[in-house]
Amino acid sequence: MYYEYDQPNKTVAQKKKIAQQKLAELRKTNPRIQPVVVTGKKLVTTWWGKAWTDNIESYADGDNRISHGKSYVRNGFILDLQIDRASVDALVQCNETYKVSIEIDLLDKEKWQQIEKNCQGKLGSLQALLDGKFPKSLGEVFTNQQSGLFPSLSEISFRCNCPIWTGMCKHVAAVLYGVGVRLDSHPTLFFTLRDVAIDNLINKAVENKKLSFLEKAQKKSSRVLNDSDLALLFGIDIDDIHFATSQNVKKPEPSKVTECKKVDDNENISHLKDSEQRVLQLLQREKHCSASDKMFAEQAQVSSPHLRTVLEKLVKHGYAKKEKHGRKVTFSIIV
């Protein structure tokens, strides 16, 4: 058997072709494979992607394997990358296909509680958090090397079945960069990786806003809170509520059903976002759920406010159907 260092050097173009052929081969047996794809000139562009790669590079100390790892990502050599609770599993193509496993220590509970405390009153919404739209001071809390969310290299352990047995190989470095690219498009996976509840950060911020809204309502009792205030205060979608007046009362319309298609167990759903895949798989098992089902949201690892958005997208994709009965909205899947 020839190891990587025994084989003649191949050009980047040759390696890319081999990687593409291997990916096509793997997709035949594993339709849910998730390669890392860089579409623009920059490796990462969002706050979470940049923060992750900046954190990794801060510990690199000029190690050239880190730069090699970056080129592997750019050239499409990461054939599969799966992020789970405190772990990452990946396949990296070089002259051979190597398996990389990364494990990250769980975030210290006291550290997480302090981060939750620091978030009070500083986060506007879940989307703002995921988009990196929060005060700079909060970003510094997240990225602090001693007390922040991001792991140090001492908290990261890794394995690769390549012939390099000592230290971090370029395949591991590639996967670490690949995580940053994946966080660009799926920032919620960062919280899955660190095994912390993203809802806790939002809930504390919302609680503070509720108190603020109530104080405003008491001071200005003659004025009506606007729709966004009501939506945040009571956890409802104002667009779905129709208020009837004595002058114009309409009979309730029959429930509307959106057609959907049956989902085959072997169907490739890799085009869906990770959160959409989790919700779809759980919906297949449970058959139906309401838009405000907190237990369903928890099992699917999405925030309660975000659950409805994901379900609506599944309806749009044709995987689920939506039924309205007055104010109650349910989603189900054809068995």
Segments in 144-225 forming alpha helices (H) = 170-185, 188-193, 198-219
Taking residues 56-78, report their average pLDDT.
Answer: 84
Whether residue 92 contacts residue 78, with contact meaning beta carbons closer than 8 Å, is answered with yes
Q: Is residue 52 part of a domain?
A: yes
Q: What is the pLDDT of residue 43?
A: 95
Question: 289 - beta bridge partners?
Answer: 331
Whether residue 96 contacts residue 110, with contact meaning beta carbons closer than 8 Å, is answered with no
Taking residues 69-84, report their average pLDDT.
Answer: 95
Question: 233 - beta bridge partners?
Answer: none
Q: What is the pLDDT of residue 189?
A: 94
What the block records as the tokens of 47 is: 């706050």
CATH number for position 307: 1.10.10.10
> Which of the given ranges, 12-21, 114-123, 200-209, 275-284, has the highest pLDDT on average?
12-21
Q: Is residue 252 part of a domain?
A: no
Whether residue 277 contacts residue 189, with contact meaning beta carbons closer than 8 Å, is answered with no
The model's confidence at residue 60, banded by pLDDT at 50, 70 and 90, is confident
Residue type, 120: Q
Residue entry with tokens 């494990």:
103
Q: Are 98 and 191 found together in one domain? A: yes
Q: What is the pLDDT of residue 206?
A: 54
The model's confidence at residue 259, banded by pLDDT at 50, 70 and 90, is very low
Q: Are 191 and 281 found together in one domain? A: no
Q: Are 46 and 185 found together in one domain? A: yes
Q: What is the pLDDT of residue 131?
A: 92
Q: Is residue 305 part of a domain?
A: yes
Cut 0.75: pTM above it: no
Look at residue 290 and give its three-state secondary structure. Answer: strand
Final residue belonging to a domain, choices 138, 163, 196: 196
Q: Is residue 243 part of a domain?
A: no
Looking at per-residue pLDDT, the higher value among 286 and 158 belongs to 158
Q: Are 166 and 80 found together in one domain? A: yes
243's CB contacts (< 8 A; 6+ apart) are none
Q: Is residue 60 part of a domain?
A: yes
Whether residue 65 contacts residue 101, with contact meaning beta carbons closer than 8 Å, is answered with no
Q: What is the pLDDT of residue 174?
A: 96
Q: Are 285 and 189 found together in one domain? A: no
Looking at per-residue pLDDT, the higher value among 150 and 246 belongs to 150
Q: Are 300 and 161 found together in one domain? A: no
Taking residues 108-133, report their average pLDDT.
Answer: 88
Q: What is the pLDDT of residue 114?
A: 93
Q: Are 180 and 82 found together in one domain? A: yes
Total structural domains within the chain: 2
What the block records as the tokens of 201 is: 């950060």
In whole numbers, what is the pLDDT of the chain averaged over residues? 80
Domain hosting 280: range is 274-332
Q: Are 155 and 51 found together in one domain? A: yes
Q: Is residue 88 part of a domain?
A: yes
When computed from its CA atoms, the radius of gyration of the chain, rounded to whole angstroms, is 24
The model's confidence at residue 1, banded by pLDDT at 50, 70 and 90, is very low
Q: Is residue 173 part of a domain?
A: yes
Q: What is the pLDDT of residue 191?
A: 94
- pLDDT at residue 288 above 70? yes
Q: Is residue 269 part of a domain?
A: no
Q: How many CB atoms lie within 10 A of CB 283?
A: 22
Q: Are 33 and 177 found together in one domain? A: yes
Final residue belonging to a domain, choices 196, 226, 257: 196
Final residue belonging to a domain, choices 138, 166, 196: 196
Q: Are 153 and 14 found together in one domain? A: yes
Distance CA 54, CA 73 (A): 16
**What secondary structure letter does DSSP report for 17?**
H
Q: Are 172 and 74 found together in one domain? A: yes
